[in-house]
Amino acid sequence: MLLFLWPIGAWTGVYERTFIAVKPDGVHRRLVGEIIRRFEKKGFHLVGMKLVQPSEPLLKEHYWGLRQKPFFSGLIEYMRSGPVVAMVWQGLDVVKMARRMLGETDPADSLPGTIRGDFCMEVGRNVIHGSDSVKMAQREISLWFNPDELICWENSSQPWRYQ
């Protein structure tokens, strides 16, 4: 087993990574297993996961781009209200595919079959976060995980998922 030690430029193709966080409402509603199941069934490769109670500074840095929005302080308070399951998934086009699997930020706009379409009722409790670009995934992963917390391992099913 090798630790995650490759350069950022290697985050392409089947080695692309994304950050996924099951928010406090998803953890309290016991949806973590179902969410992991969906990512595994899709064929993505879990390379990091931890249950955390995020600090206010971490959350303010994570949501920095939303700091001017009127809901920012409520978002930080909500994300501190319970544990979060932080994960890193790897695979071909994982950022784009994960966003499709999550559904729209507003569950009312999410199709059935998506995580938010199946499990959410309102935007303020939308169960899950996913990176919206490869660049953002790199940033978010580096905020939530130390390099030694990400495991690089060979998945024996890879030849059955990619040509």
Annotated active-site residue in 28, 45, 62, 129: 129
d(CA 130, CA 137): 8
Q: What is the pTM of this model?
A: 0.88
**Predicted pLDDT at 2:** 36
* Residue 146 is labelled as binding a ligand: no
Radius of gyration of the chain (CA): 15
Residue-wise over 33-43: b if at least 16 C-beta within 10 A, else e? eebbebbeeeb
| Helices 94-102/32-42 angle, 10° precision | 130
**Predicted pLDDT at 1:** 33
**Predicted pLDDT at 152:** 79
Q: State whether the Cα torsion 58-51-35-8 is positive or negative.
A: positive
**Predicted pLDDT at 38:** 98
Q: Tally the residues of the chain.
A: 163
**Predicted pLDDT at 104:** 96
d(CA 120, CA 118): 6
* Residue 23 is labelled as binding a ligand: yes
**Predicted pLDDT at 161:** 65
Q: Answer yes or no: are the C-beta atoms of 161 and 41 closer than 8 Å.
A: no
pLDDT averaged over 10-residue windows placed end to end, the chain, 163 residues: 44 86 98 98 96 98 96 96 97 96 95 97 94 96 95 72 65
* Residue 96 is labelled as binding a ligand: no
* Residue 105 is labelled as binding a ligand: yes
Question: What angle (nearest 5°) sits at the alpha carbon of residue 52, between those of residues 134 and 18?
Answer: 15
Q: 129 an active-site residue?
A: yes
**Predicted pLDDT at 15:** 86
What residue ranges define each of the domains in the chain, with the CATH number in brackets? 13-151 (3.30.70.141)
* Residue 116 is labelled as binding a ligand: yes
**Predicted pLDDT at 14:** 81
Q: Answer yes or no: are the C-beta atoms of 14 and 89 closer than 8 Å.
A: no
Tokens of 106: 């507003």
**Predicted pLDDT at 6:** 45
* Residue 67 is labelled as binding a ligand: no
